[in-house]
C-alpha cells in the first residue's frame, strides 16, 4: 500500500505537490562566474530532479549582489540574465516536482573578507566568540534601505517565475535579515520597524504582499520561519505562532519551520539556550503545535533521515517533510523509499570542542559531497572533516577573490 508520504498535497493557490517529501534548501556555494547557476549547480539539480521528491527548494539565492551569505552564492536581481536560471529550473523540474527558489538577504551574516554591504535592523554584531571578527560590522538600515529591500525580493521572485521556477520561498529564518528583524535581540529599533512583534514582523509581511502582487496566482509563495531562535530573549515559539496567524491572512501557500542562527545553530541540532532538541526531526514538536493554527500547509526540516521518522511527521499533522543532508548523500531517497528500500544516512559527526569550527567542518563535508554530485559522481563516499574544512577554506578564499572582482565591475 502506498504510504501517506507519497500522497499528493494541494496548496491554497490550487497547485499540487506530487508527494510529501521535499528536498530542503542547503547552501551549496556552487555559483559559477558572474554569481550565476552554471553547469555544476545544473548537474546537482539534475540528480535531485530525477530522485522522486515532490518539492525541490534551491539553496538561498541572493536578492542583492552586494550582500551574500558566501562568495559562491547565486545572485538574481532585476537585470540579471536569465539563460542559466532557465537551464537550472529545467534540470530540477524534469521529474515533475514543484521547484521553488529560496530567496534571501543575509543581513549581518556576511563574511568580512567579502567586503559586502552589511545591513541589519540595528548595528548589533554577531557574537561568535573568537570567530566574531570573521563577519562584518553591521550598519542599521534606513527607511529607504528597507523599502529597497522589499522591492528587491519582489523583483527576484518575478525573475524566478520568468525563468521557469514554480514558486519562491522567502527566507525568514536562520538569523538572516528577515529573521534579524523578527528577533528582539537583533532588532532594537524604536520606529515602525521595531519594538512590538507587529512592527518587527512588518518587513516580512510587506515582502510577502509585494511578492504576491507581482507574480501569477498559480506561482507558489512560501515562507521559511524559525519555530524559535533558541537564544534566551530571542524570537520565541509564541512569537512564531503569532506570525503564522498574520500569515494566515495573506496568500501564502506553505510555511516551513526550522530554527536557529549562526550564533545558535539549532538547524544543525545544537541550541544556545540549553534546550535539548530531538536527535531527528529537531523541530517536530514545535511544528505539530504551530500546524494547529496554520491555515496553509506546514513543513518541518531538521535532521530527518529515516523513512519511519518521515512517516511520523506526516502522521502528526505536518503536511510536508523537509530533508536536506540525507538528500546530499542519497539524491534518489524518495524513489528508494517508494520501493520499500529503507535506505538511511548518518549525518557527518564532528565532535570538536570548538563548536563553531565543528559546524564549519560539517558544512564543508556536505558541500564537498554536493560538488561531487554536481560533477556526476553519485557513489557515496565518506570524507575527512579536517581535509574537507581545509579544502573548503582554500576554495572560499578563491571564490572571495572572484566575487570581489565581480563586485568591483558593478
Q: How confident is the model at residue 381, as a pLDDT? A: 83
Q: What is the rounded average pLDDT of the residues 204-225?
A: 98
pLDDT digits (tens, 9 = 90+) for 241-277: 999 999 999 999 999 998 766 665 545 545 444 444 4
Q: How confident is the model at residue 273, as a pLDDT? A: 41
Q: What is the rounded average pLDDT of the residues 191-195?
A: 97
**Could you tell me the pLDDT band of residue 392, with boundaries at 50, 70 and 90?**
very high
pLDDT digits (tens, 9 = 90+) for 97-147: 999 999 999 999 999 999 889 999 999 988 878 878 888 899 999 999 999
Helix-helix angle 355-374:385-408, to 10 degrees: 80
* SS (HEC) of the chain: CCCHHHCCEECCCCCEECCCEEECCCCCCCCEHHHECCHHHHHHHHHHHCCCCCEEECCCEECCCCCCCCCCCEECCCCCCCHHHHHHHHHHHCCCCEEEEEEECCCCCCEHHHCCCCEECCCCCCCCHHHHHHECCCEECCHHHHHHHHHHHHHHHHHHHHHCCCEEEEEECCCCHHHHHHCCCCCCCCCCCCCCHHHHCHHHHHHHHHHHHHCCCCCEEEEEEECCCCCCCCCCHHHHHHHHHHHCCCCCCEEEEECCCCCCCHHHCCCCCCCCCCCCCCCHHHHHHHHCCCCCCEEEECCCCCHHHHHHHHHCCCCEEEECHHHHHCCCHHHHHHCCCCCCCCCCCCCCCCHHHHHHHHHHHHHHHHHHHHCCCCCCCCCCHHHHHHHHHHHHHHHHHHHHHHHHCC
Q: How confident is the model at residue 227, as a pLDDT? A: 82
Q: What is the rounded average pLDDT of the residues 178-201?
A: 97
Q: What is the rounded average pLDDT of the residues 90-98?
A: 97
pLDDT digits (tens, 9 = 90+) for 143-160: 999 999 999 999 999 999
Q: How confident is the model at residue 271, as a pLDDT? A: 46
Q: What is each CA distance from 140 to 62, 128, 287, in whole angstroms?
A: 19, 20, 32
Q: Given the C-alpha cell 540525507, which residue does it identify?
A: 326
Q: How confident is the model at residue 335, as a pLDDT? A: 94
Range from 189-198, 281-290, 344-353 carrying the lowest mean pLDDT: 344-353
pLDDT digits (tens, 9 = 90+) for 300-339: 988 888 898 899 999 999 999 999 989 999 999 999 999 8
Q: How confident is the model at residue 272, as a pLDDT? A: 47
pTM, rounded to two decimals: 0.93
**Does position 342 have pLDDT exceeding 80, yes or no?**
no
pLDDT digits (tens, 9 = 90+) for 372-386: 999 999 887 889 999
**Could you tell me the pLDDT band of residue 278, with boundaries at 50, 70 and 90?**
low
Q: How confident is the model at residue 261, as a pLDDT? A: 64
Q: How confident is the model at residue 331, as a pLDDT? A: 94
**Could you tell me the pLDDT band of residue 66, with boundaries at 50, 70 and 90?**
very high
Instruction: Tell me the pLDDT of the chain averaged across its residues.
Output: 91
Question: What topology does CATH give the domain 4-347?
Answer: TIM Barrel (3.20.20)
Q: How confident is the model at residue 275, as a pLDDT? A: 44
Amino acid at each position: 500500500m502506498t504510504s501517506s508520504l507519497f500522497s499528493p498535497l494541494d496548496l491554497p493557490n490550487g497547485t499540487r505537490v506530487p508527494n510529501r517529501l521535499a528536498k530542503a534548501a542547503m547552501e551549496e556555494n556552487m555559483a559559477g562566474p558572474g554569481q550565476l547557476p552554471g553547469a555544476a549547480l545544473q548537474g546537482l539539480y539534475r540528480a535531485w530532479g530525477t530522485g522522486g521528491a515532490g518539492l525541490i527548494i534551491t539553496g538561498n539565492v541572493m536578492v542583492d549582489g552586494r550582500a551574500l551569505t558566501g562568495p559562491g552564492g547565486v545572485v538574481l536581481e532585476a537585470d540579471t540574465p536569465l539563460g542559466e536560471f532557465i537551464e537550472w529550473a529545467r534540470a530540477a523540474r524534469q521529474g515533475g516536482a514543484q521547484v521553488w527558489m529560496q530567496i534571501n538577504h543575509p543581513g549581518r551574516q556576511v563574511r568580512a573578507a567579502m567586503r559586502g554591504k552589511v545591513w541589519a535592523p540595528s548595528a548589533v554584531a554577531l557574537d561568535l566568540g573568537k570567530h566574531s571578527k570573521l563577519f562584518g560590522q553591521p550598519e542599521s538600515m534606513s527607511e529607504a534601505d528597507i523599502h529597497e529591500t522589499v522591492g528587491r525580493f519582489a523583483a527576484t521572485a518575478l525573475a524566478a517565475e520568468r525563468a521557469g521556477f514554480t514558486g519562491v520561498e522567502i527566507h525568514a529564518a536562520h538569523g538572516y535579515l528577515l529573521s534579524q528583524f523578527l528577533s528582539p535581540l537583533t532588532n532594537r529599533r524604536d520606529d515602525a520597524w521595531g519594538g512590538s512583534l507587529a512592527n518587527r514582523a512588518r518587513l516580512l509581511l510587506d515582502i510577502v504582499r509585494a511578492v504576491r502582487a507581482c507574480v501569477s496566482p498559480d506561482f507558489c509563495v512560501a515562507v521559511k520561519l524559525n519555530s524559535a531562535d533558541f537564544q534566551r530573549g530571542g524570537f520565541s515559539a509564541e512569537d512564531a505562532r503569532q506570525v503564522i496567524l498574520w500569515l494566515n491572512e495573506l496568500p501564502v501557500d506553505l510555511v516551513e519551520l526550522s530554527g536557529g542562527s549562526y550564533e545558535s545553530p539549532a538547524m544543525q541540532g545544537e541550541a544556545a539556550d540549553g534546550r535539548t532538541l530531538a536527535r531527528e526531526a529537531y523541530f517536530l514538536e514545535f511544528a505539530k503545535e504551530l500546524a494547529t493554527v496554520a491555515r496553509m500547509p506546514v513543513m518541518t526540516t531538521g535532521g530527518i533521515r529515516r523513512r519511519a521518522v518521515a512517516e511520523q511527521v506526516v502522521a502528526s499533522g505536518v503536511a510536508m517533510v523537509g530533508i536536506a543532508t540525507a538528500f546530499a548523500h542519497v539524491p534518489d531517497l524518495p524513489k528508494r523509499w517508494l520501493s520499500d528500500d529503507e535506505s538511511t544516512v548518518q549525518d557527518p559527526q564532528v565532535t570538536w570542542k570548538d563548536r563553531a569550527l565543528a559546524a564549519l567542518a560539517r558544512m564543508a563535508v556536505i558541500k564537498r559531497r554536493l560538488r561531487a554530485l554536481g560533477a556526476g559522481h553519485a557513489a557515496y563516499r565518506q570524507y575527512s572533516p579536517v581535509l574537507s574544512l581545509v579544502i573548503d577554506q582554500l576554495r572560499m578564499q578563491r571564490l572571495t577573490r572572484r566575487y570581489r572582482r565581480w563586485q568591483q565591475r558593478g
